[in-house]
Structure 1
Amino acid sequence: MAKVEKGDVIRLRYTGKIKETGEIFDTTEEEVAKQAGIYKENGVYGPVPIAVGAGHVIKGLDEQLEGLEVGKKYEIIVPPEKGFGKRDPKLIKVFTLGQFRRQGIIPFPGMPIEIESEGGRKIKGRVLTVSGGRVRVDFNHPYAGKHLVYEVEVVEKVEDPIEKVKAMIELRLPRVDADKVVIEVGEKEVTVNFKPVLEEVDKNTLVLGEILLESDLKFLGYEEVTFKPSVEELLKPPEEVTSEEKTEEGAEEAKETEPAETPEGGQEEASEGEEEPVEENAESGETGESKEAEDNPPQSEEAQEKR
């Protein structure tokens, strides 16, 4: 049986649970997600393609994939420090009841809230207690301090270089048909041409996908990564792109209409009575969260949605 090594591209099936409660918080299996109440209508289910060691899954799981055999099932336990982190008392903040009421919110224990930092970043928390005009809010991750249990199976170890690139596209752009993407690989360089699928994917989604893919492909050992169209081309305003296309078309037409050369290597002489053409030359994107929590009033998730 083939064993997994760091840098391998694999397809992984898994289900993650909280050891202390048995709660399922993540899974690649559609039926399991439905039974656990975490099913997402637009979610993508089935074995997920990842590069081992690239950080595509939680750190404690990623580290323990090395050495596993393809086709065998395993149970992996991840400690808090390599999962969602340890609980930080500094991330528990106290607000006045008035701060909530001014936002039209009546807080209660367990209520999810959000605050917005000065930089516009949203930080999620959960109300712990409401007492004596004071509201305690926990901004730790809900699973901080918990041990995680993963039931995993390495379904496949991808060997072919082209298929490895396709697997990374599937990971980053799951809605794109990777079989339509034109891929060329060399020893240290790779070209990924998305032009055949441009009509099937949102431009901003493709920009983000290319940025993440470049990191993934360099992790796989490619030193030169080229995308068509590039991120820069995708970010250009439509009118600028149109202008460049016209310029390129004009250059092609100019080449086609250049005077033919005579057998002696010179250009054909102008006919009698015709003037020689005049040539023109034209230059033609944790501790800080504590401070943010103190400086910004909370809002419920419902209030955020109304905004």
Structure 2
Amino acid sequence: MSNGKKIIPGAYVKLSFEAKTEEGEIADSTKQRIKKNDEYEEIDVPIVVKIGEREVFFDDFLLDLEEGKEYDIKVPPEKAYGKRDPKRIETIPIKKLRSLTGERKFSVGQILYDSEGRYYGKIIYVGSRDITIDRNHPLAGKNILVHLKIHKVVLPSDPAPERLRMILERYLGEELTNKVKIDLGDRELEITFPTDILMRMSIRDLVRTVYLPRKTMAEEILRELSLDKVKFVEAFSLVEMPKIQASSIAPSTPVPEEGKEMGEIAPSEERESETEKKEAVNA
């Protein structure tokens, strides 16, 4: 008999999953391809969801599942990507479609997204003035088979540090959560991002990973842990770079003689230069 926690409404759940159609087409997955040593490899990156907020389309099927176990579930179209609806095939003027999507050129089979990056539809006909679009999701009308593993369950009644940890992983991911410093008091929380992380991040990653999620993350922490304040501290300082060894200097780089600055002409060189000038004049 297993002693794993069972999922209830409001619980935080760390899980991995792969969702496919019955034909084997991948619908969604926690697997990611990363580049390592000039080659790509596939790794699993579990996510943290809060039950009841429908962050995954199979949210309703997670209730009563148990921590530490793997499951296979079948999600019908109405709970996944919806049933196919003939009324969602629309004909739209090209001018209007350009304003909706930002695209300038269109072709049959093209997938369109709106200005906020959300799926808009698939083009099935292009005319001189109008375009016909299937607004149904590409996977509409299909059953979705989901294989998932429940790594961890944290209940609303669990200690505050456990719930805080899951919230941080939910927004920052496991790797960054492991590196931040957490100071949780009775009514306040201080989260410090260390120098070695911040200084090595690109501006893009810094904004996306650290700055963008802070407001939403802070609101959730304040609400879930009943705190008065969440403070973020960013510890910036110069990161020591590896020293360049003398052997790494290129052979073509001139090394100044002792007592002589780079670019300074040695006395013997001056004499040779004067001799050359005199010979040139006499010639």
TM over 0.5: yes
Partner of 1:140: 136
Partner of 2:48: 49
C-alpha separation in 2, matches of 1:198 and 1:132: 52
Partner of 1:93: 90
Deviation at 1:209? 1.0
1:4 partner letter: I
TM-score by length of 2: 0.58
Query: Once the two structures are superposed, what CA deviation does each residue of 1:70-104 show, in whole Å capped at 9, x if it has no partner?
Result: 2222122223333233445454221468999xx87
Partner of 1:214: 218
1:13–1:28 Cα contact (<8 Å) kept: yes
C-alpha separation in 1, matches of 2:95 and 2:63: 53
Partner of 1:172: 171
User: What SS class does the counterpart of residue 172 from structure 1 fall into?
Assistant: helix
Partner of 1:152: 148
Matched, 1:62 2:59: yes
2:16 partner letter: R
Deviation at 1:8? 2.7
Of the three residues 23, 26, 31, the one matched with 1:24 is 26
Structure 1: which 5+ runs fail to align?
35-40, 231-307
Q: 1:43 to 1:49 in 2, by over 3 A?
A: farther
C-alpha separation in 1, matches of 2:42 and 2:167: 17
User: What SS class does the counterpart of residue 61 from structure 2 fall into?
Assistant: helix
1:184–1:192 Cα contact (<8 Å) kept: yes
Q: How does 1:211-250 map to 2 (within 5 A)?
A: 211-218=215-222, 220-229=224-233
C-alpha separation in 1, matches of 2:117 and 2:149: 37
**Percent identity among equivalent residues?**
25
Q: 1:66 to 1:97 in 2, by over 3 A?
A: closer
2:164 partner letter: V
2:112–2:121 Cα contact (<8 Å) kept: yes
Q: 1:162 to 1:115 in 2, by over 3 A?
A: closer
- As a proportion of its length, which structure holds more strand? 2
Structure with max Cα Rg: 2
C-alpha separation in 2, matches of 1:115 and 1:29: 26
Structure 2: which 5+ runs fail to align?
35-39, 98-102, 235-283
Aligned residues: 213
Deviation at 1:134? 5.5
Partner of 2:123: 127
1:194 partner letter: T
2:51–2:59 Cα contact (<8 Å) kept: yes
C-alpha separation in 2, matches of 1:220 and 1:43: 34
1:208 partner letter: L
C-alpha separation in 2, matches of 1:106 and 1:203: 33
2:13–2:153 Cα contact (<8 Å) kept: yes
- As a proportion of its length, which structure holds more helix? 1
1:228 partner letter: F
C-alpha separation in 2, matches of 1:165 and 1:155: 17
Partner of 1:265: none
1:107 partner letter: S
C-alpha separation in 2, matches of 1:202 and 1:210: 12
C-alpha separation in 1, matches of 2:159 and 2:92: 56
1:181–1:192 Cα contact (<8 Å) kept: no
Deviation at 1:191? 1.2
C-alpha separation in 2, matches of 1:194 and 1:154: 29
Higher relative contact order (Cα pairs below 8 Å, separated by 6+ residues): 1
Deviation at 1:122? 6.9
**RMSD, aligned α-carbons:** 3.9
Q: How does 1:282-293 map to 2 (within 5 A)?
A: none
Deviation at 1:62? 1.7
